[in-house]
Amino acid sequence: MQLGMIGLGRMGANMVKRLLKGDHQCVVYDLHQDAVKAMQQSGVIGAASLADLVAKLPKPRVLWLMLPAAVVDENLALLAPLLDAGDIVIDGGNSYYHDDIRRAAELQARQIHYVDVGTSGGVAGFERGYCLMIGGEKETVQRLAPIFSTLSPGVDAAPPMAGRDKPGSTAEQGYLHCGPHGAGHFVKMVHNGIEYGIMGAYAEGLNILRHANVGKQSGEVDAETTPLRHPEHYQYELDLPEITELWRRGSVISSWLLDLTAGALLQDPKLENYAGRVSDSGEGRWTINAAIDESVPTPILSAALYARFSSRGEAGFADKVLSAMRHGFGGHLEKPVKPKED
């Protein structure tokens, strides 16, 4: 098929390359024309503007936006007047699904079809394929099957599921029409919420292993600190790169995220290249909002989000309140600074 790609960041550029390998034709645009030029060597047609992009695509056009969620609406506002009835606009970024529902209605008024696609895979997606969670009208989604089929990992990417016999389903290919407008980003949102939780579970566990030698440190004795009762239980110097490699085989917690972790620890066993300030990108937050709207308890997913906030110092004032209270009732003074280390 022919497809126009708007946005050539890490994700967009790799997706175009994967589409080219699958013999699709791509016209590409990015505000940064350098990115467009860099791609043209790969056999794509570059566009100098949104209007140019639209002009270079056959009708009904298929346009894929791969942009930061914060700029999708302004791009849509510029793009929509350039389009014709029957064209399809796909938002493959990390939009909030509320926006999908609104945008789909707005574009429908112009007879333009809107499809939301939650895209997982990251920088490995070019090789590994992208897991695509799709929302929109059934017919529109079906028309885009060749695109989705090329982008997704394909059936061989995982062992077949015993007992599964659903010939019509595309889930085994790695893409799925999840429901009406917004359903794709809704499922991707929760996917990312789960991702935060899983990442946090590994991180907490590895932190425990990392400090299995605390019994070797001599403790201080004062009224505010309880000494370690059994230092003899914490005398282990554990080799995290080896342990994470070990867990990749046969353990209940083997996963792709574990593979990445083992790889990172292999290169940098103490993770000295990182300061531990962890960003969060929206989906983790929206997941909690949805959970609360639905009355679904999500202590794990929330804890994972808050750990990221705290890693960036956002608990600071709350911590000061605690210190002030302790001073108030017990006359406790804060202890000297212990630098944030590993």
Is 212 a residue that touches a second copy (CB under 8 A)? yes
Q: How far is the CB of 144 from a second copy (least distance, A)?
A: 16
Any long-range contacts for 219-228 (C-beta under 8 Å, 24+ apart)? 224/332, 224/335
User: Taking every pair of C-alpha atoms in the chain, what is the biggest distance, in angstroms?
Assistant: 77
Which amino acid would we find at residue 35? A
Is 167 a residue that touches a second copy (CB under 8 A)? no
Q: How far is the CB of 77 from a second copy (least distance, A)?
A: 15
Q: How far is the CB of 336 from a second copy (least distance, A)?
A: 8
Is 164 a residue that touches a second copy (CB under 8 A)? yes
**Which residue, 22 or 154, has its beta carbon nearer to a second copy?**
154
Give yes or no for a contact between 312 and 277, defined as CB atoms under 8 angstroms apart.
yes
Give yes or no for a contact between 284 and 301, defined as CB atoms under 8 angstroms apart.
yes
Q: How far is the CB of 45 from a second copy (least distance, A)?
A: 25
Q: In what order do the strands lie in the sheet with 88-91?
A: 45-46, 25-29, 2-6, 62-65, 88-91, 113-120, 131-135, 175-179
Q: Is 147 helix (H, G, I), strand (E, B) or coil?
A: helix
Sequence-distant (≥ 6) Cβ neighbours of residue 324 within 8 angstroms: none
Q: Which residue has the tokens 């070019």?
A: 126
Among 27, 32, 71, 76, the residue binding a second copy under the rule CB under 8 A is 71
**Which residue, 46 or 118, has its beta carbon nearer to a second copy?**
118
User: What is the C-alpha separation between 72 and 172, in angstroms, rounded?
Assistant: 30
Is 35 a residue that touches a second copy (CB under 8 A)? no
Q: How far is the CB of 6 from a second copy (least distance, A)?
A: 14
Size of the site for a second copy (CB under 8 A): 183
User: What is the C-alpha separation between 180 and 192, in angstroms, rounded?
Assistant: 20
Give yes or no for a contact between 186 and 135, defined as CB atoms under 8 angstroms apart.
yes
Question: According to CB under 8 A, which residues from 258 to 287 bind a second copy?
Answer: 258-268, 271, 273-282, 285, 287
**Which residue, 109 or 221, has its beta carbon nearer to a second copy?**
221
Pattern of binders to a second copy over 72-91, x per CB under 8 A?
--------------------
Piece in contact with a second copy (CB under 8 A), picked from 38-46, 53-61, 106-114, 149-157? 149-157
Is 218 a residue that touches a second copy (CB under 8 A)? no
**Which residue, 17 or 306, has its beta carbon nearer to a second copy?**
306
Burial category of 2 from C-beta neighbours within 10 Å (exposed 0-12, middle 13-18, buried 19 and up): middle
User: What is the C-alpha separation between 38 and 29, in angstroms, rounded?
Assistant: 11
Piece in contact with a second copy (CB under 8 A), picked from 20-28, 50-58, 108-116, 232-240? 232-240
Is 34 a residue that touches a second copy (CB under 8 A)? no
Question: According to CB under 8 A, which residues from 3 to 22 bind a second copy?
Answer: 9-10
Supply the residues annotated as catalytic. Answer: 188, 195
Going by C-alpha positions, the residue among 44, 78, 83 that lies closest to residue 63 is 83
Question: According to CB under 8 A, which residues from 282 to 341 bind a second copy?
Answer: 282, 285, 287-332, 334-335, 337-341
Pattern of binders to a second copy over 174-203, x per CB under 8 A?
xxx-xxx-xx--xx--xxxxxxxxxxxxxx
Is 123 a residue that touches a second copy (CB under 8 A)? yes
Among 40, 49, 108, 254, the residue binding a second copy under the rule CB under 8 A is 254
198-212: string of b/e by CB count within 10 Å (b at 16+)? bbbebeeebeeeeee
**Which residue, 81 or 227, has its beta carbon nearer to a second copy?**
227
